[in-house]
């Protein structure tokens, strides 16, 4: 399985650093991944929905740790590249109002493996 595209939408928030969408094998998109700043660094939260009891359930997620780590590494690398683009003045800084469905041209990051 290959990630053929990663789109990052940066956020200016304390913990939520951005949203990501990934395309697998140029055939299947997963939207709504979140890049989160946790106590021990960045991690990826999978897209989820709120249940009636107030808890959250992942909508899509890796089924083993190796796949989760592989996916997380790819998304975090894309996030860091997008941050460098902000630092270099190539794109404007993130806003607090971005959403994972934002499809601005500057928010797209493509990775080919």
Asked if residue 106 has pLDDT above 80, the reply is no
Q: How confident is the model at residue 110 (pLDDT cuts 50, 70, 90)?
A: very low
Contact 107, 86 (CB under 8 A): no
Q: What percentage of residues in the chain have a pLDDT greater than 70?
A: 84
Residue 112 pLDDT more than 50?
A: no
**Architecture in CATH of 3-98:** 2-Layer Sandwich (3.30)
Q: Tokens 């299947």, residue?
A: 28
Place of tokens 């990826």: 44
Report the C-alpha gap between 53 and 25 in whole angstroms: 36
Q: Which residue has the higher pLDDT, 112 or 78?
A: 78
pTM, full prediction: 0.81
**pLDDT 10s digits, 37-92:** 999 999 999 999 999 999 999 999 999 999 999 999 999 999 999 999 999 999 99
Q: State the average pLDDT for the chain.
A: 87
């Amino acid at each position: 399985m290959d990630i053929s595209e990663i789109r990052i939408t940066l956020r200016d928030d304390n913990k939520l650093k951005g949203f990501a969408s990934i395309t697998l094998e140029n055939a299947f998109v997963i939207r709504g991944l979140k890049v989160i700043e946790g106590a021990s660094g960045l991690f990826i939260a999978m897209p989820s929905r709120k249940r009636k009891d107030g808890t959250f359930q992942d909508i899509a997620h890796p089924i083993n740790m190796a796949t989760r780590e592989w996916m997380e590494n790819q998304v975090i690398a894309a996030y860091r590249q997008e941050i460098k683009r902000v630092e270099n003045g190539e794109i404007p800084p993130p806003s607090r109002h971005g959403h994972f469905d934002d499809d601005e041209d500057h928010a797209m990051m493509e990775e080919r493996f």
